């Protein structure tokens, strides 16, 4: 199933709001980099094991080809031999489903 950018963003936004998360507040810092309270601000980043796993999956997916060449070759052969048959009803059904999926607030 194809997931459009709109669906992915909507799902992410809903997950963030369900968990009660909001934009991260930034500490007040004066012009010299020292916090308003006089304490030097230090940035720290902790990456969870889940985030590391997600990054590994993303890297693995990035290495996969965008096009399934074997599938394209098979369809091309069917088209060239005149045996490729496509149903207009199936195409219309998929177009309507995609439009509904993109317009529905999940």
Q: Which residues pair with 34 in a beta bridge?
A: 40
Per-residue pLDDT reduced to its tens digit, 7-19: 666 676 676 666 6
**The pLDDT of residue 24:** 45
Q: What is the 3-state secondary structure (H, E, C) of 80-96?
A: HHCCCCCCHHHHHHHHH
* Mean pLDDT along residues 47-74: 89
Examine the pLDDT at 62 and tell me if it is beyond 60.
Answer: yes
Confidence of residue 23 (pLDDT cuts 50, 70, 90): very low
Average pLDDT, the chain: 77
Is residue 9 a part of any domain in this protein?
Answer: no
Does residue 53 lie in a domain region? yes
pTM for this model (two decimals) = 0.34
Structural domain boundaries, residue 78: 48-84
Structure tokens given for 71: 């599938």
d(CA 11, CA 19): 12
| Domains in the chain, number | 1
The burial class, CB within 10 Å (0-12 / 13-18 / 19+), for 60 is exposed
């Amino acid at each position: 199933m194809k997931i459009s950018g709109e669906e992915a963003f909507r799902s992410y936004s809903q997950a963030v709001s369900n968990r009660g998360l909001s934009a991260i507040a930034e500490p007040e810092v004066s012009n010299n980099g020292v916090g308003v309270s006089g304490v030097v601000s230090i940035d720290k980043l902790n990456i969870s094991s889940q985030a590391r796993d997600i990054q590994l999956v993303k890297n693995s997916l990035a290495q996969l080809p965008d096009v399934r060449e074997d599938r394209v070759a098979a369809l091309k052969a069917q088209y060239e031999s005149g045996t490729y048959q496509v149903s207009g009803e199936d195409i219309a059904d998929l177009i309507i489903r995609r439009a509904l999926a993109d317009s529905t607030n999940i």
